[in-house]
Copies of this chain bind each other. A is one copy, B any other.
Amino acid sequence: MFGNVLQGLVEGTGGGIGAVLMGYDGIPVAQFFRPTQGPDLQLMAVEYTNILKEIRTAAEILDIGRTEEVAIRTERYLLVLRTLTDDYFVALTLERDGNFGKGRYLLQRDASVLRDALA
């Protein structure tokens, strides 16, 4: 079930490369990667798990509300992380010129489906 949602995210977003449903413990629950010569998306997800944890902690310290979404644009890729529950988040990786708006929209749309399935 998770795999289908992740596949829909990647294939529905122009420039989509891969999506991972991750636990904050750094363990992936499900993933869908396009066959590509691209980066090690699993390693990326693990690296960004730690960063997202720190962003979440910073938001708590600053009392600016729960972190919902983090987007990181590098010279080559675009990464959108969306928090689902206290324990899980989704990471969607796009080509740099991928459709950022569409990716964000689909992540937002599918978040509640994934959240329900995780509960």
Contact = CB atoms under 8 A, between A and B. Distances in A.
B67 A73 contact: yes
A27 interface: no
A106 to B, nearest CB: 16
Interface in A48-68: 48, 50-51, 54-55, 58-59, 61-68
Interface majority SS on A: helix, strand, loop or mixed?
A: mixed
**How many copies of the chain does the oligomer comprise?**
2
A11 interface: no
Interface residues of A, number: 30
Given A51-B51, A54-B51, A54-B54, A59 B71 contact: no
A72 interface: yes
Interface centre among A67, A69, A71 (most CB of B within 10 A): A71
A55 B77 CA distance: 13
Interface in A17-54: 39-40, 43-44, 47-48, 50-51, 54
